[in-house]
Amino acid sequence: MIAIALSTLSACGQKPTETTEKVMDKVNDALDRRPNEKAHDAVEDITSAVKDASEEAQGKMEEIAKEIKNKTEDAVK
């Protein structure tokens, strides 16, 4: 199956070495057998946590901005 995917991607004009490396990394990731797997997983977990925290902080900032706007509008009235 991997060979079929690689041959198909190679036929699309992509560089076979880059495609092969990407496919092998995905397969090794799925099977938890990449070199330094624990470090890779830790980085992925941290990246995900930072993204989640950033999205939450952005949502809170938007709420605060709306609240400030509303209070400012009320004070002007």
Cβ neighbors of 16 (< 8 A, separation 6 or more) are 6, 9, 10
Contacts 24+ apart (CB under 8 A), 12-16: none
Chain segment 10-68, per-residue pLDDT in tens: 555 555 578 888 888 888 888 888 788 889 889 999 999 999 999 999 999 999 999 99
- Tell me the pTM: 0.53
What pLDDT is recorded for position 42?
Answer: 92
Confidence of residue 5 (pLDDT cuts 50, 70, 90): low
What pLDDT is recorded for position 31?
Answer: 85
What pLDDT is recorded for position 77?
Answer: 74
